[in-house]
Structure 1
Amino acid sequence: MARSLRTRRGGPRLRAVALTGIDGSGKTTQAHRLAEALTAAGRPATYHRNAGGRRWLGRLAHRLGRPDAQRLVGRNAMLAVESVLRWLAIALALLSCLVTGRTAVMDRYSACQYASIRAHGGQRWERLARAGYRIFPAPQVTFLLAVDPAEAYRRIERRGTDHESMRWLTAAATAYRTLPEYPTFVVVDAGGSPDEVSRRIRAHLTEWLPTDDDRPASAGPPPGGADPPPAGGGTPERIDPLPAQARP
Structure 2
Amino acid sequence: MFISFEGIDGSGKSTQARLLADALRAEGHEVVLTREPGGSRGAEDIRRLLVEGPPDRWSPETELLLFTAARRDHLERLIRPALDRGAWVVTDRFADSTRVYQGAARGAEQARLSDLVESLHRLVIGVEPDRTLVIDLDPAEALARATGRGTEAEDRYESMGLGFQLRLRAGFHDLARRHPARVRLIDGSGAAATVAARVRQALAAP
> Are residue 110 (structure 1) and residue 100 (structure 2) matched?
no
Deviating 4+ runs (over 4 angstroms): 52-56
Give a deviation string over 1:175-223, Cα, whole Å, max 9, x none.
112236443321110121211111111123348xxxxxxxxxxxxxxxx
CA distance in 1, matches of 2:82, 2:47: 25
* Equivalent position of 1:155 in the other structure: 145
Identity of aligned residues (%): 30
* Equivalent position of 1:170 in the other structure: 166
Query: Which stretch shows the higher mean deviation, 25-34 or 173-182?
Result: 173-182
Matched ranges for 1:9-24 at <5 A: 15-24=1-10
- Cα distance, 1:40 vs. partner? 0.7
Match among 135, 138, 143 for residue 128 of structure 2: 138
Query: Which stretch shows the higher mean deviation, 152-161 or 79-88?
Result: 79-88
* Mapped contact 2:135–2:186 kept (Cα < 8 A): yes
CA distance in 1, matches of 2:3, 2:96: 13
Identify unmatched segments of 5+ residues in structure 2.
39-45
* Mapped contact 1:151–1:191 kept (Cα < 8 A): no
The TM-score, its normalising length taken from structure 2, stands at 0.79
Q: Which amino acid is 1:101 matched to?
A: G
- Cα distance, 1:54 vs. partner? 6.4
* Equivalent position of 1:198 in the other structure: 196
Q: Which amino acid is 2:138 matched to?
A: D
* Equivalent position of 1:128 in the other structure: 116
Q: Which amino acid is 1:161 matched to?
A: T
Work out which of the two has the higher radius of gyration on C-alpha atoms and give 1 or 2. Answer: 1
* Mapped contact 1:23–1:169 kept (Cα < 8 A): yes
Q: Which amino acid is 2:4 matched to?
A: A
Q: 1:186 to 1:74 in 2, by over 3 A?
A: closer
Q: 1:111 to 1:75 in 2, by over 3 A?
A: closer
Match among 45, 50, 60 for residue 57 of structure 1: 50
* Equivalent position of 1:81 in the other structure: 66
- Cα distance, 1:168 vs. partner? 1.4
* Equivalent position of 1:45 in the other structure: 31
Identify unmatched segments of 5+ residues in structure 1.
1-14, 62-66, 208-248
Give a deviation string over 1:74-95, Cα, whole Å, max 9, x none.
3332232223323432444431
Query: Which stretch shows the higher mean deviation, 181-190 or 40-49?
Result: 181-190
* Equivalent position of 1:212 in the other structure: none
* Mapped contact 2:68–2:120 kept (Cα < 8 A): no
Q: Which amino acid is 1:57 matched to?
A: L
Q: Which amino acid is 2:165 matched to?
A: L
How many residue pairs end up in the alignment?
185
CA distance in 1, matches of 2:24, 2:115: 35
Q: 1:188 to 1:141 in 2, by over 3 A?
A: same
The TM-score, its normalising length taken from structure 1, stands at 0.66
* Equivalent position of 2:105 in the other structure: 119
- Cα distance, 1:119 vs. partner? 0.6
Name the one with the larger helix percent.
2
CA distance in 1, matches of 2:128, 2:59: 30
